[in-house]
């Protein structure tokens, strides 16, 4: 089976189709530029992790209206025959640029840019947002949880609490991008070639006459990855002693060669892990791993680490797979420029009484500026695609809202990297996604360029995202033109 | 395309498969009973709406390990050849009982009961929970939002903020079950035959030289469902006057025969709707509908209704499709009984230091008790399947935790209805789901049996869920047996 082979063409809001018919019937045959971006980092984080692009690529490649799709739309009674005929031959013919998955990103930066005839660009809005919003959200949440664990491994365990099969499957993919070491979701393992992990549940223990027999049976089957769940009856009085009894027998039989240990799934994890550690150590099982699960999130893991809990492996479920404290990413898709025929793009701006909600006009890209001496991220610069920069020259960047906040970068002390890559060229895919494990590696490297203050769980330092001089001027001119009397 | 034809067999936690192999290799060939239930109503609601069963039915029907699935599992290096051979021939052979979709349910009631060989019952745990948890969550949230709107229509608009395509598509299905009047998601409309709704976005307005032309063009195309989005430039100075100009022209041309009106998508909705209403009424457009969207949820809608906002139609996005304040349902799947060969089922109980988490043992069903005089829901009774009741006789029910809380029901004054129906019989599906619109109707009727105090948004009155005498005795006996010294 292949999730990606699905025809998701009708995965769109009805208004995209009513607007398409409107454009079809009227002489508004423009080429447009739409930007997908977000305004606020989720979960109070200092950054987000871009994810979901590969799903978008599959979606765009498979975009077509089947006979059933057209018949269904016809049945709604609002679409005319000539428009339905047009849909029959529809495919995406535009260009798409995007920031690769696993990249650290910040508010207002275009994550995906669509340059296409207006009808095509409008149709794909909803699905692009659904996919980018969902996976970027979970990748970002995962990065937080991984960060809180200070080097310990995080396992993604949330499938049963995910918002449906996709949310569990693509969510687990995103969690891997964000730094998890494996997932319990077998389908994610199959589809995306990532490690799958898991041992047994309370029902395993309960289906045997006693806990020892359940442990012993499991250990015989899986001596190389033997994590025993110790809280079914009583963690310290029954679970840990029975586990130690089984480990002793394995040691005697010389089969204790792989990863082994216990899993705590309830109770006071700080106390239980310290007591269990003492008991395991006293029996000579110094390398037995203590793993824990039980409604964990980044704050609880951070607190347990601070309390000196003897846990070095963590299973995180509900709070990660749903990003429970912030379950939506808030990405939007806004018109940035329009051109008629072979003309020039005319920049467009969306006004709002809320200054933060005013969009950036024009055909843009994003540059990342690093300090040359240490490779740390200095600032991001949203620029027009035809802006020119020279790293050997001085650069002054300034906050687009509080313009008196200026940063002077001396030529030769910084480097610049363009973040967006071309993904579709005239409807043809020209980009191959790396493997998920390679994206995960990229994401780790990306986060290493951040200052600790930006990675902090609470009140992180905000990274500057400035506008190039020419983009700032374009925006200001447009605003002045639209508010002539004010 | 068909979402339901997908093979989701590997949509499971790895530990289900490692346990399956454990059962396969060891003489634990039992038939078991598992209950899927939840412990706390989501979003502080007084009840939940059961949903997701139809997706579970499709999943169970399609359950099989393809050659690719078996090859993938083989590649993990933890499964033996004879077990993989067994998987090749695997299909579900058990019985499933469930409470039909759209039914009002309460904590601790089995929503789904699986009676099957332990390997089969274990495999299906994760996917059943994923589907029931997700759809029940969104249906319940939708019921809250619909309830807050006091009879106004709620449109589901959240696809772009959903946790992936499934969450958007099945979430919209669940939102319809919970009482929405339509969804923007065209795929949901196609798959589940529910109304799809939508007009145009800000980008439509921005792609025309001016707002009036954009409105006029739209009105010409869609005179029968002409809702104009009025907040792109300035709601009261530009949007509403331009809408009125277009409505006047439509009235003059005698094409103002359908549903028409305006949509507010930002700003102070209470103020703007009152001012817009005055302007529309002054121009004689008394039947113009004012609809609103803008990060709405049940509390905001309730507040706007209380403030006398002149809005009668609501589009709800992010907060509904993600159940933002409570994005997980928390359903669990627990072993309730075990039998060897043709023997009797032996009840099983899961202990916990938290009394609320102790499970109910045995082969159970759920009865709903109504007051005969007014049809209102009196209490639910979790009972053993072989319990006998007689509505003509007196019935004393009591709280299973606070057993002194007793309710005496006089024979002839109450009626009882069994809630669970058989869905699979020895692996064969024996149940046909009603249409989504029929489930929605059932859900409305179900909620009509509740007292207003139970439907309250905040601090609702809790409905009694009691245990039958025989079930209570079975549970107490098991607890006493497991804690002999205490």
Contact B185 A338 (CB under 8 A): no
How do residues A58-99 score in pLDDT, each as one tens digit? 999 999 999 999 999 999 999 999 999 999 999 999 999 999
* Angle in degrees, CA B263, B268, B269, rounded to 5: 40
Q: What is the rounded CA–CA span in Å between residue A443 and residue A176?
A: 10
- Best of A76, A122, A160 to disrupt the B interface (most B CBs within 10 Å) is A160
Chain B residues closer than 8 Å to A170 by CB: 164
Classified as helix, coil or strand, A84 is helix
Least-confidence region, from A109-113, A233-237, B273-277, B480-484: B480-484
Nearest partner of A385 among A29, A136, A39, A95, judged by Cα: A95
- B359 to chain A, closest Cα gap in Å: 12
Domain covering B139-321: architecture: Alpha-Beta Barrel (3.20)
- A249 to chain B, closest Cα gap in Å: 19
From the list A6, A201, A348, which residue is nearest B1 (CB)? A6
Q: What is the rounded CA–CA span in Å between residue A175 and residue A194?
A: 11
Chain A residues closer than 8 Å to B210 by CB: none
Contact A322 B334 (CB under 8 A): no
Identify the pLDDT of residue B2. Answer: 32
pLDDT at A484 over 90: no
Task: State the Cα torsion A131-A136-A139-A143 to the nearest 10°.
Answer: 180
Chain A residues closer than 8 Å to B122 by CB: 201, 203
Contact A161 B352 (CB under 8 A): no
Chain B residues closer than 8 Å to A157 by CB: 13
* Residues A118 and A30 sit within 8 Å (Cβ to Cβ): yes
Cβ-based neighbours of A70, under 8 Å, separated by 6 or more: A84, A87, A88
Q: What is the rounded CA–CA span in Å between residue A351 and residue A349?
A: 6
Chain B residues closer than 8 Å to A125 by CB: 160, 201
- Best of B53, B69, B327 to disrupt the A interface (most A CBs within 10 Å) is B327
Strand-pair category, B95-98 with B421-425: antiparallel
Contact B186 A78 (CB under 8 A): no
- Comparing alpha-carbon positions, the chain A residue that sits nearest to B1 is A7
From the list A170, A324, A338, which residue is nearest B328 (CB)? A324
- B363 to chain A, closest Cα gap in Å: 16
Show the tokens assigned to B297: 């949820």
How do residues A302-350 score in pLDDT, each as one tens digit? 999 999 999 999 999 999 999 999 999 999 999 999 998 888 999 998 8
Q: Which residues of B159-179 are buried (b: 16+ CB within 10 A; e: fewer)?
A: bbbbbbbbbbbbbbbbbbbbb
Contact B28 A351 (CB under 8 A): no
- φ/ψ of A363, rounded to 5, equals -90, 105
CA pseudo-torsion sign A299, A301, A302, A306: positive
Contact B190 A334 (CB under 8 A): no
- Comparing alpha-carbon positions, the chain A residue that sits nearest to B32 is A207
Contact A327 B329 (CB under 8 A): no
Chain B residues closer than 8 Å to A208 by CB: 28
Nearest partner of A3 among A71, A62, A49, judged by Cα: A62
What is the Cβ-side half-sphere exposure of residue A26, based on CA atoms within 13 angstroms? 21
Least-confidence region, from A156-170, A231-245, A347-361, A384-398: A347-361
Q: What is the rounded CA–CA span in Å between residue B210 and residue B330?
A: 50
Chain A residues closer than 8 Å to B19 by CB: 200-201, 203-204
Contact B348 A167 (CB under 8 A): no
pLDDT at A368 over 60: yes
CATH fold group of domain B3-138+327-482: nicotinate phosphoribosyltransferase (3.20.140)
From the list A10, A218, A334, which residue is nearest B187 (CB)? A10
Contact B17 A186 (CB under 8 A): yes
How do residues A427-473 score in pLDDT, each as one tens digit? 999 999 999 999 999 999 999 999 999 999 999 999 999 999 999 99
* Angle in degrees, CA A92, A93, A95, rounded to 5: 105
Contact A208 B28 (CB under 8 A): yes
Question: From the CB of residue B258, how many other CB atoms can be counted at a distance below 10 Å?
Answer: 11
Q: Domain coordinates of chain A in residue numbers?
A: 3-138+327-482
* Residues A37 and A332 sit within 8 Å (Cβ to Cβ): yes
What is the Cβ-side half-sphere exposure of residue A266, based on CA atoms within 13 angstroms? 16
Split at pLDDT 50, 70, 90, the class of A6 is low
* Angle in degrees, CA B245, B248, B249, rounded to 5: 90
Identify the pLDDT of residue A2. Answer: 32
Gyration radius of chain B over CA positions: 26
- Comparing alpha-carbon positions, the chain B residue that sits nearest to A339 is B207
Nearest partner of B230 among B261, B258, B184, judged by Cα: B261
Chain A residues closer than 8 Å to B83 by CB: none
Classified as helix, coil or strand, B7 is coil
Split at pLDDT 50, 70, 90, the class of A5 is very low
Edge-to-edge strand list for the sheet holding A465-467: A414-418, A364-371, A377-384, A465-467
Contact B186 A13 (CB under 8 A): yes
* Residues A58 and A424 sit within 8 Å (Cβ to Cβ): no
- A273 to chain B, closest Cα gap in Å: 18
Task: State the Cα torsion B362-B368-B369-B375 to the nearest 10°.
Answer: 180
From the list B23, B30, B165, which residue is nearest A11 (CB)? B165
Question: From the CB of residue A480, how many other CB atoms can be counted at a distance below 10 Å?
Answer: 10
Q: What is the rounded CA–CA span in Å between residue A417 and residue A100?
A: 13
E strand map for B24-107: 30-37, 48-49, 95-98, 104-105
Per-residue pLDDT of chain B (486 residues; tens, 9 = 90+): 233 346 899 999 999 999 999 999 986 668 999 999 999 999 999 999 999 999 999 999 999 999 999 999 999 999 999 999 999 999 999 999 999 999 999 999 999 999 999 999 999 999 999 999 999 999 999 999 999 999 999 999 999 999 999 999 999 999 999 999 999 999 999 999 999 999 899 989 988 889 999 999 999 999 999 999 999 989 999 999 999 999 999 999 999 989 999 999 999 999 999 999 999 999 999 999 999 998 999 999 999 999 999 999 999 999 999 999 999 999 999 999 999 888 899 999 887 767 788 899 999 999 999 999 999 999 999 999 999 999 999 999 988 888 888 889 999 999 999 999 999 999 999 999 999 999 999 999 999 999 999 999 999 999 999 999 999 999 999 999 876 554
Identify the pLDDT of residue B352. Answer: 74
Contacts 24+ apart (CB under 8 A), A229-233: A229/A199, A229/A200, A229/A201, A229/A202, A229/A204, A229/A205, A229/A262, A229/A263, A229/A265, A230/A262, A230/A263, A230/A264, A230/A276, A231/A202, A231/A264, A231/A265, A231/A266, A231/A267, A232/A202, A232/A205, A232/A206, A232/B350, A233/A205, A233/B351
Identify the pLDDT of residue A26. Answer: 85
Chain A residues closer than 8 Å to B3 by CB: 6
Chain A residues closer than 8 Å to B353 by CB: 266-267
Strand-pair category, B395-398 with B112-117: unpaired
- Comparing alpha-carbon positions, the chain B residue that sits nearest to A126 is B160
* Residues B301 and B288 sit within 8 Å (Cβ to Cβ): no
From the list B12, B22, B165, which residue is nearest A221 (CB)? B22
Identify the pLDDT of residue B3. Answer: 39
């Amino acid at each position: 089976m292949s999730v990606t082979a699905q025809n998701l063409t009708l995965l769109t809001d009805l208004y995209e189709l009513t607007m398409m018919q409107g454009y079809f019937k009227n002489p508004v045959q423009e080429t447009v530029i739409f930007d997908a971006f977000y305004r606020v980092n989720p979960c109070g984080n200092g950054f987000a992790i871009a994810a979901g692009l590969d799903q978008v690529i599959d979606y765009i490649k498979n975009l077509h209206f089947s006979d059933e799709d057209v018949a269904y739309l016809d049945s709604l009674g609002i679409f005319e025959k000539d428009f339905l005929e047009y849909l029959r031959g529809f495919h995406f013919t535009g260009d798409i640029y995007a920031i690769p998955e696993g990249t650290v990103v910040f508010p207002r930066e275009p994550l995906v840019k669509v340059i296409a005839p207006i009808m095509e660009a409008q149709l794909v809005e909803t699905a692009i947002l659904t996919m980018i919003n969902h996976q970027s959200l979970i990748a970002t949440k995962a990065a937080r949880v991984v960060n809180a664990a200070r080097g310990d491994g995080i396992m993604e365990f949330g499938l049963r609490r995910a918002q449906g099969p996709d949310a569990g499957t693509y969510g687990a993919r995103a969690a891997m991008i964000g730094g998890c070491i494996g997932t319990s979701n077998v389908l994610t393992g199959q589809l995306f070639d990532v490690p799958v992990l898991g041992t047994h549940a309370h029902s395993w223990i309960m289906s045997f006459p006693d806990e020892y027999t359940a442990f012993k049976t499991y250990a015989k089957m899986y001596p190389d990855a033997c994590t025993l769940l110790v809280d079914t009856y009583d963690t310290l009085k029954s679970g840990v002693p029975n586990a130690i009894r089984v480990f002793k027998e394995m040691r005697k039989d010389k089969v204790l060669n792989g990863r082994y240990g216990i899993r705590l799934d309830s109770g006071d994890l700080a106390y239980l892990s310290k007591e269990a550690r003492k008991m395991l150590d006293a029996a000579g099982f110094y390398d037995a791993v203590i793993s824990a699960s039980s409604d964990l999130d980044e704050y609880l893991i951070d607190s347990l680490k601070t309390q000196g809990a003897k846990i070095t492996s963590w299973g995180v479920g509900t709070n990660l797979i749903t990003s429970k404290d912030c379950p939506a990413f808030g990405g939007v898709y806004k018109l940035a420029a329009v051109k008629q025929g072979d003309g020039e793009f005319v920049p467009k701006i969306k006004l709002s009484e809320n200054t933060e909600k005013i969009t950036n006009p024009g055909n843009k890209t994003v540059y990342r500026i690093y300090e040359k001496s240490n490779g740390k991220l200095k600032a991001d610069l949203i620029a027009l695609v035809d802006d020119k920069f020279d790293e050997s020259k001085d650069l002054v960047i300034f906050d687009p809202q509080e313009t008196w906040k200026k940063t002077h970068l001396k030529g030769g002390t910084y480097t610049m990297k363009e973040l967006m890559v071309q993904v579709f060229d005239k409807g043809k895919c020209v980009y191959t996604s790396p493997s998920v494990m390679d994206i995960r590696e990229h994401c780790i490297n990306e986060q290493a360029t951040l200052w600790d203050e930006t990675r902090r769980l609470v009140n992180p330092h905000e990274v500057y995202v400035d506008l190039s001089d020419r983009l700032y001027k374009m925006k200001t001119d447009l605003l002045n033109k639209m508010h002539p009397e004010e």
